[in-house]
Amino acid sequence: MKKQLLVLFAFFLSVATFAQKNELKAAEKAIKKNDYATAQASIKQAKPLIEIADDKTKAKFYYLHAMTCTEMSKSNPALYPNAAEAYNNLFEIEKKMGSTKYTELAEPKLNVLISDVSAKGIKSYQDKDYANAKDELYQVYLLSPRDTAYLEYAANSAYLAKDYEGALNYFTQLKDVGYTGIITEYSAKNTETGEKEVFSSKEQSDLMRKSKSYSDFKTTTSESKKPAVIKNIAFSHIELGDTDKALAAVKDARKIDPEDVGLILTEANLHIKLENKDEFARLMKEAIELDPNNPTLYYNLGVISAEQGDVEKAKEYYRKAIEINPDYTDAYVNLGSAILEDDKKLVEEMNENLNDFDKYDKIKAKQVVLYKEAIPVYEKAYELKPDDIDTVRVLMSLYENAEMDAKFSDMKKVYDSMK
């Protein structure tokens, strides 16, 4: 009985294999007639038994599947992943076989497909259509896994499209494949034109060295993008609200680049969210020690301090940023805002003493002193950025309340002209 079952099973496989080969022949004929819908139907019929087929049959199946998906994807981009899978399976099976029969036929088609999809992705990115760019650029990576730069482009597009789940997925893939993005450029100066020219390879550069047409040969290597990839993993976690995972990612990034001040600030911000104030203070001190003349660092410290309610410390940091960069407009605006923080309290006190004229007048006098302290700060901000309507509005209000009538009148004219 067992022997009979084995014979029946062998007979079944033989019949199935015969049917499968017939389906592939039908698909091949349909492709020659550009009837890709029929080809797709035949391939679908042949697919269930492909795993038990011999390697030659598998190679033919994947080739026909790739050709069909390539053509049909022109009207249905959803088939790009199917095409990518078919091409990759074809190349893998023929490499294993030591054959190039279908690979040689498929590669030109694949290159055209890659070129078309990458052109779409690049155009979408240039048009700031990041939602489409992230998918199109990722499809290029699926079609050509060697081109990991496209995975980076897809990751950045996903982040810009605010698809943080997608961005996290792509950036994590970059990390897992060990992506560095390091590019080595070989260049030289054309002695006839005096212009710099970039060579396609070291071999071409070496060949041109033998010519008198070039001089000043240079080899430059870009910095690794690995720290940026891990940093972006952290930022994606932050956007998704996963503070603990973000902190772990930042710590990984800092192992690679421990002196990146931006990473230190990111870690510090995360510790604030976790209410780890001592660790926050330590990291701030570390950041300042690493980059004591960075006005942006002091400005950011001012923002963080203000958010934590330490207004006096925020003022110190804004003033330090201005000391380093006297043209730092945002630092002037934020300093002015920090100075006016006490105005809320004064207004409350004035409202509580509306019937006590002497006390009211004393509080009002303090308010005018406060306004006159803030006015030069906002005036400098206005000088640096005269088209900022918010600064104009604040100055107009300050002049009015400080009874600086002439300046109020001039600023109101400016404000009216901007509306």
Q: Are residues 171 and 250 in the same domain?
A: yes
Q: Return the minimum-mean-pLDDT range out of 73-77, 138-142, 265-269, 350-354.
A: 350-354
Q: Confirm whether 102 is domain-assigned.
A: yes
Q: Are residues 25 and 71 in the same domain?
A: yes
Q: Are residues 94 and 189 in the same domain?
A: no
Cα 159–Cα 127–Cα 77 angle in degrees, nearest 5: 75
Beta strands 196-199 and 184-190 are antiparallel
52 vs 393: which has the higher pLDDT: 393
Q: Are residues 230 and 207 in the same domain?
A: no
What pTM was estimated for this model as a whole? Answer: 0.62
Q: What is the mean pLDDT of residues 179-208?
A: 84
Q: Confirm whether 7 is domain-assigned.
A: no
Q: How confident is the model at residue 21 (pLDDT cuts 50, 70, 90)?
A: low
Beta strands in 290-413 (DSSP E): none
Q: How confident is the model at residue 11 (pLDDT cuts 50, 70, 90)?
A: very low
- The predicted structure's pLDDT at residue 337: 92
Q: Are residues 56 and 119 in the same domain?
A: yes
Q: Are residues 319 and 386 in the same domain?
A: yes
98: domain CATH number? 1.25.40
Q: Confirm whether 8 is domain-assigned.
A: no
Q: Return the minimum-mean-pLDDT range out of 7-16, 40-49, 239-248.
A: 7-16
Q: What is the mean pLDDT of residues 42-48?
A: 77
Note the pLDDT tens digit of each residue in 226-248. Answer: 878 888 898 899 899 888 898 88
Q: What is the mean pLDDT of residues 131-138?
A: 94
Task: Give the helix ranges, DSSP H, for 164-201.
Answer: 164-176
Q: Are residues 151 and 190 in the same domain?
A: no
Q: Confirm whether 285 is domain-assigned.
A: yes
Q: Which domain holds residue 215?
A: 184-221
Q: What is the mean pLDDT of residues 280-291?
A: 86
Contact by Cβ (8 Å): 175, 229: yes
Q: Are residues 378 and 419 in the same domain?
A: yes
Q: Take residue 193 and report the two structure tokens written for it.
A: 């034109």
- Distance from C-alpha of 365 to C-alpha of 363, rounded to nearest angstrom: 5
- The predicted structure's pLDDT at residue 368: 84
- The predicted structure's pLDDT at residue 43: 78
121 vs 418: which has the higher pLDDT: 121
Domain ends where: 172, 196, 221? 221
Q: Confirm whether 54 is domain-assigned.
A: yes
Q: Are residues 213 and 309 in the same domain?
A: no
Q: Return the minimum-mean-pLDDT range out of 109-113, 273-277, 373-377.
A: 273-277
Q: Are residues 155 and 245 in the same domain?
A: no
% the chain with pLDDT above 90: 29
Q: Burial letters for 361-383: b for 16+ Cβ neighbours within 10 Å, e otherwise?
A: eebeebbeebbeebbebbbbbbe
Q: What is the mean pLDDT of residues 297-324?
A: 89
Contact by Cβ (8 Å): 382, 359: no
Taking the alpha carbons at both ends of the chain, their separation in whole angstroms is: 95
Q: How confident is the model at residue 19 (pLDDT cuts 50, 70, 90)?
A: low
Q: How confident is the model at residue 15 (pLDDT cuts 50, 70, 90)?
A: very low
Domain ends where: 238, 273, 292? 292
Q: Are residues 119 and 144 in the same domain?
A: yes
How many domains does one find in the chain?
Answer: 4
Q: Are residues 286 and 378 in the same domain?
A: no
- The predicted structure's pLDDT at residue 324: 96
Q: Confirm whether 9 is domain-assigned.
A: no
Note the pLDDT tens digit of each residue in 316-355. Answer: 999 999 999 999 999 999 999 999 888 888 778 778 777 7
Q: Confirm whether 11 is domain-assigned.
A: no
26 vs 362: which has the higher pLDDT: 362
Q: Confirm whether 12 is domain-assigned.
A: no
Type and span of the H or E element at 70? helix 55-72
Average pLDDT, the chain: 84
Q: Is the pLDDT of residue 217 over 50?
A: yes
Q: Which DSSP symbol is given to 190?
A: E
